[in-house]
Each structure stands twice: as C-alpha cells, then as structure tokens.
Structure 1
C-alpha cells in the first residue's frame, strides 16, 4: 500500500487535486542542548508540554495496560513511566519528536507478531535503513495512505464498549461527554486541557458537597457506622460521634464543622462529649487548620469535651503546633472511635 501510494504521489500529481504528501523530511544529527527561547515562548511551551504529558500518559498507559492484560503480562507502572520520561528527555535534548507507547503503533506491532523487546530494536533498524536509503521516496507518500494504515491497525482494537461502561455505572458520564466534545471542537491539545480543568472542577464539587455522618454503635460491638444508613445502630448517651464523608479542605471545612457544631448544640438529650473522626483526612490544609482552631474554641465555649479520633500522623502533627490554651478540653488521638468513646465515658475526678 505504501509503495502504491508513493507511485501515485510520483506520477498522478496528487497535490493538484488537494491531496497532501508527507513532504521533504530534513534530518540532521543535533548536538544535545537546551533551546534558547524568549520567556513568553517558555510559558507557551509549558502549556503545550503539560497537555502533551497528559496525552502521552493517557494513551501510553492505556495501550500498555490493555495489551498486557490481553497477553497476560505484568505491568510495572514506575518502570514504564521512567522509560517514557527518559525517552522524552533524550528526544527533547536531540530536538526529536515526543515518544510514547501509542495505541496505533502498539496495535500494528502486535499485528506484525512482535513478542519481545527485540521488536523495538528491529523497528529502529528498519527506520534507520529507510532514512539512509529511500527517504526521498518517503516524502512522496500521500498522507491519506498513512491515515488508512493507522485506521487499519486500530480497527481491531477500537471499541465503544469501554465508553458504554461509564453510562452503565452512571459515573463520570458528564466528564466523558465533555472530553469527547472538547477534543472534537477544540482539537487534541486544547480539548484535553479543557477536559482536565472540567475534571478538577467536578472533583472539587464532589468533595465540597460532602456531608457529615452521625455514627452509632453496631450491636454493642466495636464498630461505629452511619446511623442514617443503619438505623439499627445505637447512639451513645451523652456522646455525639460525627465523621465527614470526605477529606476536609478549604472548600468544605467551614460547612462541615458548622454542621457538627449545630448537631452538638441541639442534640437531645444533651451531650457532654463530641468525637470527630477524621479518618478521611490524611492531611489538613491551612484553611482546615484555622477552621478546626475556631471549632475547638466554639466547642469549649459550649463546655463540652472534644476528641479527634482516627487522626493521621500529618494532621495530628499540624494540630499539635496550635497554642496550648486552644487545645484545652481537646484530645488529639490516632486511636479508633471505640477507644475514643471509652475515653469519653470515663468518670471525671
């Protein structure tokens, strides 16, 4: 097919009919160095590089994982990403093209019977041979011929079934639709950047809309679960146990802690201890720490004991640096909710 395409490019004057050819490829051995660019070009380069990284990662990891699963191979994510990073670093220093485990090239490689790393060495040797011998003829190859080869290579592997799963699961459907529409309308680079931005916005929306769960004891055991979903769980008299359903961060901490404070104030019968389980928050940002600091003071003003249970190491270390007077009647604990309840029910002396 390639040979026939080159012959057509040579004898049929295809450019006159609007058919584009590959054109002359100017190859030269470059000395590895960083380009000298004005600052504005570096900024633009950073934008394009971010989008390119997303494209290379998504396509490469997709082809790596799918073909590894197909052939029963083991995937080593760190190894694969290190190889891609090293290849792109060297390619960039030599002014080469971005390198990735493209789905079309992988499909064509598999269709040709590749079964080991030796296939890459053979392919590199063939490309070198072409460059040294028939490069001027390659320039006459019509671009539609290359497109047809890629489509043929992908035809066996492409399927709409993976996209259908998102509609069956009813998760990320909006993101999938927006990503496809953005790429079709804006192109691959700008469309992908918009899709990433939409993904971040949806993630922030989900985390910021987190609710606060009131926990109860399950069948007199050591497990404490959401009372709303498990009405048979029992509340501990005099103790309010609450847990945010998502990690605390700047967009949800004020609303969640405000809800916990209202529950403590209006609890019937009144409670003497509030247990806040922070198992979903491995770390805390500055806004969350400030909000918790104010929450400590508000709970103390209600003359209640506050116990922070399931506190992760990073979060506990950050809160421990608050002034000692603000930690009065506050217990920072990495232990379980059950231990915190036992501590709350100890008689005071």
Structure 2
C-alpha cells in the first residue's frame, strides 16, 4: 500500500482524537468567558475548517484557547459584569475586531511582529496567565461564589470560605486533573472526552444533584444570524483597545505552535498567510457568535503526536464535532462544572513550571523581565499585565543600547584584521589614527554619548584622523545625523579628518540626502577598516 493511500487513515485517527480533546475544552472555555457552550463549539468548527482552507501549517489546530479565553474574560471584566446580558454582544464584537486586526496585520506583512516581544516576557506572561486561570476556575471546583474577581482577593475569599467548600466537587475536579496528568502519554486516547462521559453518567444517575454539584445547563443550538451587535460608539472604541491585546495573544501563541511544528518537520513558514487565515477565522467566528480562536500549542502538538499528515485531520475533527452537535448535544447540559474546570486547569498547568526560567538565572540575563511579566499579569490583569511587561522589555532594551559601548580597534598581527584592543592587547593601533566601533546601532538615545566619547578620546592624544566603523548601524535617525555632523565639525576645528568605514547602503543613501560638505562621498567609500587605514596611510606617506 502506498503512502498516499495510508495518509487519510492517519488523518482520520488524528482527527477523531483531536475532536475528543477539543469538544470538552470548547465548552469549558465558553464557560470561562461567560458565554453559552454554543460559542465555543461554533468557534471550534469554523476555526478547524477556515484555517484548513486558508492557512499554511498542516498540523495547526485552530480553536478556542486558554490564553485567548483568559484575555477575553479579563478584558470584558473591565467593561461589564460577568452575568451582564450585554457581555455576549461585547464578546462577539471583540472577536470580530480581533479578526479585522489580524487580517490588516497580514496584509501589511507584519507577520514577524511577535519578535518584538521577548521570550522571557512571553514565558512570564504564560506563567502568570496560567495562575490567573487556575484561580478563576477554583469557584467551579469548590462550588463557592466569591464576590471579587481580582487574583489575590478572590483567592483569599475562597480560602476564608473553607467551611463552604463542596468536597464532592473538589474530589471530582482533582480526579479529572490527575487522571489527565497520568494519562498524558496516551495521545491517541480521548481521555478528556471519556471523563466528560463519566461526569455526564454521574449526573444522569442523580449523584451530582445529590452532592450539590452544578452542571453546565441546557442550551439551544440554532443557526445564528450574521450581524454585528448593536453597540454604542464608546463601547466600540473600548473594544478596539481590547482587541489589540486579544489579536496579539492569538498570534503570539499561534506563531509559537506553528513554528515549532514547522521546524521539526522542515516545513515552510508563511507568517503573513497565517495571520490572514487566523483573522478570517475570527471574523467569521464573531459574526456567527463564536469565541476567539488560535492555534493552541497543546492541540497542535496533540494533532502531530496522533499521526496527522495533512490538514485533513482538522477537517475530520470538524466533521466529528458537527455530528456530535447534531445528535448528542443534549448531553452537554449534564456536564458537571468541576469536570470542565479540571480540564481547563490541566490544559494550562503545563505553563506553571519554573524550569523555563532556570536558564535566565544561570545566564544572569532577563531575570527581571520574566518576574515582571508574571507579577504584572497577576496584579494588573491580563491586558495591562502584557502591556506593562512589553513596555518594560522595550525600556530595558533602550537602556542597554543607550549606554555607549565603543571598541577602540587596532591591527592584529600586522594583517588586515582590526580588533578590539581591550580584548586583544597584542593588537596595535595605527599611528595618529583613532579607530572607533560602536557596539550598538546609533540612534537617538546613544548617538550624542558616542560622539562625545570619541571627542574625549581624541583630547587625550594627538590624532590626525578618526575612523568611525558603522558596521553595527543599519540606519540613521535625525538625532544620529545631527550628532555626526557636530562630531565632524568639532574634529574639523581641531584639524582632524573624520572618515566612515563599513557603511551600509541605507546609511550611505541617507548621507547623500544630507548632502553636507562635512561628509563628501569620499569620506564613506571605504568598504572595510583596512581600506580606510590604507587610504589614510597612503595619503600621509605621499604628502611626506
């Protein structure tokens, strides 16, 4: 039998396994956001089908994820109460706007925007987000009704309500969690679905009612009309701000999942195409009253582990979900809340690990970033926490670049290589020539400091020439241009000539636009430091 004939079999097996995993998660994430179960199920079907038609990855499973559900829940909490009837309309509008932003980002080829978020920030954010999700699921596990929704007060309130805990519900939630944990190696077995069926059986037999354990409740599956919610202009403006966070989280998580599987199997990555696919999926999900969707890491990894070979596995999973909704949806109402909460807690528990942060403490790098991201999410919420963590990472980057680090170069072993004299003491600086190489690109925060450091170095010894190596500088902003002009002017007053080396094309084009007599073309035509030194030494020898 050829590989082509075997291929659908593997995709069918993987698709059925994924359907068993995603069905309970879709219902659980709907419950997390405060939406009817139909929202998660509609989003699941649309995400599986639409991404399969438009997206690039053959392993990506696009559905509601814990991260996007948590961001939606936290963001909507800033606008309306959890039980407010306006919440559903705001949620669907938020999903729609997030999809619009993703499509726009794809059309403008912003697929690499997630590279601006440092990995320590993403890891810290995931850790803090997972902790927040666990705390928000505890009321369902303990069957208590906390008044506050912020992390610390909600946790303290539940601890104080110790005497009101429902121990049957707690046992049920812990049983689900540990069963999933100890059976995680069996990727092809839909353990979560089997636990759901077991929970439904307890409900049908009357045990959960006798124990005082709440269930999901009935819902009607109707084909929703395609229209946007009627919201005020102020609500739309607030949702635009929230949608940026939702879109960013969706793509950050999806890109990590897609990239990981693609690198493992040497598949091509098309981030902008995936942005558009995710955007279209969320636009349609919002219009059809579904949740936000993305390529979750756990579902994508499970699809790959189950033996999927192509996008057909996602379509098989979508078909299985539709069949379940048509013929077995009445059983969803009987799912006990602690069972769903246990599934959600297990789904995010993989992010609550200290191992990923160990390397940052060993390297003495980015420890503060990860710690700030964790506490920012816990203290300020998902949206504000992410923005604060990203802002801190950018500020730390600017701070590191703002400190002028300049290497003073010398010739190594009489050859053509010029290296840092401080690192290689045997290197010899050319006579009467100062060679400076900034270790960071010149920009508004460090340009003046770098130029001032060069002038200070010049004042310590008699130099006839200064060579500025700009190999680390991909472009020049206006502040850098003005600083270089002032440097050249001061050196000219001292009778010292400034020459630029290793100038990139974009920098050379900028200097052409500047068109200053301080920087004629001959001042930056040297392709290397050795060329610049040779030109100056030849000129000196010719004049003597």
TM-score normalised to structure 1 length: 0.85
RCO comparison, higher one (Cα < 8 Å, 6+) = 2
Determine the structure 2 residue equivalent to 1:141.
335
Determine the structure 1 residue equivalent to 2:173.
none
Is the CA contact 2:262–2:268 (under 8 Å) kept in the aligned structure 1?
Answer: no
User: Structure 1 stretch 15-24 or stretch 315-324: which is displaced more?
Assistant: 15-24
Deviations 1:302-323 (A, max 9, x none): 1111111111111111122224
The separation in 2 between residues aligned to 1:81 and 1:143, in whole angstroms, is: 39
Matches within 5 A, 1:298-309: 298-309=490-501
Determine the structure 1 residue equivalent to 2:445.
251
Is the CA contact 1:182–1:192 (under 8 Å) kept in the aligned structure 2?
Answer: yes
Is the CA contact 2:213–2:337 (under 8 Å) kept in the aligned structure 1?
Answer: no
Give 1:291's match in structure 2, choosing from 479, 483, 491.
483
User: 1:92: how far off?
Assistant: 1.3
User: 1:239: how far off?
Assistant: 0.3
The separation in 1 between residues aligned to 2:340 and 2:308, in whole angstroms, is: 21
Is the CA contact 2:410–2:429 (under 8 Å) kept in the aligned structure 1?
Answer: yes
Which is helix-richer, 1 or 2? 2
Give 1:341's match in structure 2, choosing from 515, 519, 533.
533
Any idea what SS the aligned residue of 1:86 has?
A: helix
User: 1:266: how far off?
Assistant: 1.9
Determine the structure 2 residue equivalent to 1:235.
429
Determine the structure 2 residue equivalent to 1:313.
505
User: 1:118: how far off?
Assistant: 2.1
Can you give the 5+ residue segments of structure 1 that lack an aligned partner in the other structure? none
User: 1:45: how far off?
Assistant: 3.0
Residue 181 in 1 paired to residue 372 in 2?
no
User: Structure 1 stretch 230-239 or stretch 97-106: which is displaced more?
Assistant: 97-106
Give 1:24's match in structure 2, choosing from 219, 229, 238.
219
User: 1:52: how far off?
Assistant: 2.2
The separation in 1 between residues aligned to 2:513 and 2:210, in whole angstroms, is: 72
User: 1:167: how far off?
Assistant: 2.0
Pick closer, same or farther for the CA change 1:36–1:321 going to 2, 3 Å: farther
Any idea what SS the aligned residue of 1:243 has?
A: strand
The separation in 2 between residues aligned to 1:186 and 1:66, in whole angstroms, is: 30
User: 1:161: how far off?
Assistant: 3.1
TM-score normalised to structure 2 length: 0.57
User: 1:86: how far off?
Assistant: 1.6
Is the CA contact 1:306–1:330 (under 8 Å) kept in the aligned structure 2?
Answer: no
Any idea what SS the aligned residue of 1:255 has?
A: helix
Any idea what SS the aligned residue of 1:250 has?
A: coil
Number of residues paired by the alignment? 343
Give 1:92's match in structure 2, choosing from 283, 292, 297.
283
Deviations 1:25-77 (A, max 9, x none): 7653444x7777655444433332332233223322333344456xx412433
Any idea what SS the aligned residue of 1:148 has?
A: helix
Give 2:361's match in structure 1, choosing from 152, 167, 179.
167
Any idea what SS the aligned residue of 1:346 has?
A: helix
Determine the structure 2 residue equivalent to 1:265.
459
User: 1:329: how far off?
Assistant: 10
The separation in 2 between residues aligned to 1:134 and 1:100, in whole angstroms, is: 26
Is the CA contact 1:214–1:243 (under 8 Å) kept in the aligned structure 2?
Answer: yes
**What root-mean-square deviation, in Å, do the aligned CA atoms of Structure 1 and Structure 2 show?**
3.1
Can you give the 5+ residue segments of structure 2 that lack an aligned partner in the other structure? 1-194
Any idea what SS the aligned residue of 1:331 has?
A: helix
Determine the structure 2 residue equivalent to 1:279.
471
